[in-house]
């Protein structure tokens, strides 16, 4: 399938390598009800299991279940509250220290709740001899369960980091492949243009050489770079100038700029590959050529980019692409901006439209890595 044949719409940017081992322990945000509800559900299931294990069937001891359920519920709620308050401190600690701190907090919570429960059950006059053993039993069982829960959170974090590292390695390899695959037709045609202009128009030939140098330098730059939007626009203009020498009046470009600040940072090579795709798959196959419309808008604290070109699906290109440029850009935007980025590719009548939207400021929680 050619680049222009690819039609998808997605919600989703390149990022620095993600470490395979966590530098610190990460807990889910237990202040959120969506993270707390599963813990409450597991606690209630545990209360049912303990009731069945300690009371002979067929009778179900509802009183015992109520007491165990209430105790577990208090442990879950108080423990979640304390861990929620400790969560901002964890990034300052090593992974081992963070786990140890969370484990100690949970043990103290279990001991306090169990002690309070024994005190209430004894009508303020508990039998401390047997109560101590009951508290120790609660600590043993609760400590094992708390350790398993913290181990689960740690392994979940490690799995997430490994998946991120694998995705990042794949994206880096694809981006480097895209960078190294400079279209031979563009290189050869540009060299022929330079050769034909050396005698008749040496100034233009020199300018083409400078433009090509800038394009090659950008294509070989680090995928992690962010550059001012004005620099990306300038790169596109240089590329278009070279192609206009080859295509002549067949290639027309209209810029629609509604920008308050053209110095906002954007991922490198986020515009030029889309313009190249529009020329190679949209304008070049058409005998009459056409116009590429490029719209840039930075209202509402977001940068919106739309590139449209005429497209005739009945024309089979001599060389079909595999969608790498569009896929690569979409994945880079996803990795950098997460769900705050929007990327879409669609056909509108005889027009092929590629658009994306990114926040001008990276949202909190997404800038943990450089993209």
Where do the structural domains in the chain lie, given as residue ranges? Answer: 3-16+182-359, 33-172
Which residue's structure tokens are 């609760």?
Answer: 142
> What is the model's pTM?
0.54
Q: Write the CB contacts of 72 (distance below 8 Å, at least 6 apart in sequence).
A: 43, 44, 46, 47
For position 80, what pLDDT does the model report? 85
CB atoms under 10 Å from CB of 317, counted, come to 14
CA distance 17 to 166: 9
Cis, bond preceding 366 (omega within 30 deg of 0): no
Helix (H, G, I), strand (E, B) or coil at 315: coil
Structure tokens belonging to residue 13:
């940017």
What's the pLDDT at 293?
95
Look-up: residue for tokens 């190294």? 180
| pLDDT on residue 21 | 52
Q: What is the pLDDT along the chain (371 residues), one digit of tens a residue?
A: 444 544 444 433 333 444 445 567 777 778 888 878 888 888 888 888 877 877 666 677 788 788 888 888 888 888 888 888 888 888 888 878 888 888 888 888 888 888 888 777 766 555 666 777 778 888 888 888 888 888 888 888 788 778 877 777 776 666 666 555 555 555 666 677 778 778 777 888 888 788 777 776 766 665 557 889 998 998 889 889 888 888 889 999 999 999 998 889 998 888 988 998 898 888 988 989 999 999 999 988 899 999 999 988 777 555 544 466 788 788 888 878 888 999 999 887 789 999 999 998 654 444 433 33
In this structure, which CATH number among 3.90.76.10, 3.30.43.10, 3.90.190.20, 3.30.565.10 belongs to the domain 3-16+182-359?
A: 3.30.565.10
Supply the pLDDT for residue 35: 79
User: Residues 137-141: contacts with CB within 8 Å, 24+ apart?
Assistant: 138/71, 138/110, 138/111, 138/114, 139/107, 139/110, 139/111, 139/114
CA distance 127 to 114: 14
Do 286 and 254 meet the contact criterion of CB atoms below 8 Å apart?
A: no
Other beta carbons within 10 Å of 193: 18
pLDDT of residue 122: 66
pLDDT score for 176: 60
């Amino acid at each position: 399938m050619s680049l222009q044949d690819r039609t998808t719409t997605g919600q989703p940017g390149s990022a620095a390598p993600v470490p395979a081992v966590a530098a610190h322990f990460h807990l889910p945000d237990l202040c959120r009800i969506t993270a707390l509800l599963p813990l409450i559900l597991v606690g209630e299931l545990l209360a049912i299991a303990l009731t069945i294990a300690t009371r002979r069937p067929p009778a179900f001891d509802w009183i015992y279940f109520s007491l165990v359920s209430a105790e577990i519920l208090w442990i879950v709620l108080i423990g979640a509250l304390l861990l929620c308050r400790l969560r901002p401190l964890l990034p300052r600690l090593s992974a081992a220290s963070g786990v140890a701190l969370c484990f100690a907090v949970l043990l103290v919570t279990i001991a306090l709740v169990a002690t309070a429960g024994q005190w209430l059950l004894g009508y303020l006059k508990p039998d401390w001899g047997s109560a101590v053993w009951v508290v120790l039993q609660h600590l043993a069982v609760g400590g094992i369960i708390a350790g398993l829960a913290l181990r689960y959170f740690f392994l979940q974090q490690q799995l997430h980091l490994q998946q991120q590292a694998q995705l990042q390695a794949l994206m880096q390899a694809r981006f480097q492949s895209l960078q190294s695959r400079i279209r031979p037709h563009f290189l050869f045609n540009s060299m022929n243009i330079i050769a034909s202009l050396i005698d008749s128009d040496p100034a233009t030939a020199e300018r083409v050489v400078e433009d090509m140098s800038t394009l090659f330098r950008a294509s070989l730059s680090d995928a992690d770079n962010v550059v001012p939007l004005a620099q990306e626009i300038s790169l596109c203009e240089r590329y278009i100038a070279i192609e206009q020498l080859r295509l002549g009046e067949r290639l027309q470009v209209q810029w629609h700029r509604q920008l308050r600040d053209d110095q906002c940072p954007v991922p490198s090579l986020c515009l030029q590959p889309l313009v190249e795709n529009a020329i190679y798959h949209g304008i070049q196959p058409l005998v009459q050529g056409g116009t590429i419309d490029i719209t840039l808008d930075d209202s509402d604290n977001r940068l919106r980019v739309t590139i449209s070109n005429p497209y005739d699906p009945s024309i089979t290109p001599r060389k079909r692409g595999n969608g790498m440029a569009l896929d690569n850009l979409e994945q880079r935007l996803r990795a950098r901006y997460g769900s705050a980025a929007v990327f879409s590719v669609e056909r509108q009548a005889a027009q092929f439209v590629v658009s994306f939207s990114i926040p001008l400021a990276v949202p909190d929680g997404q800038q943990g890595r450089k993209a």
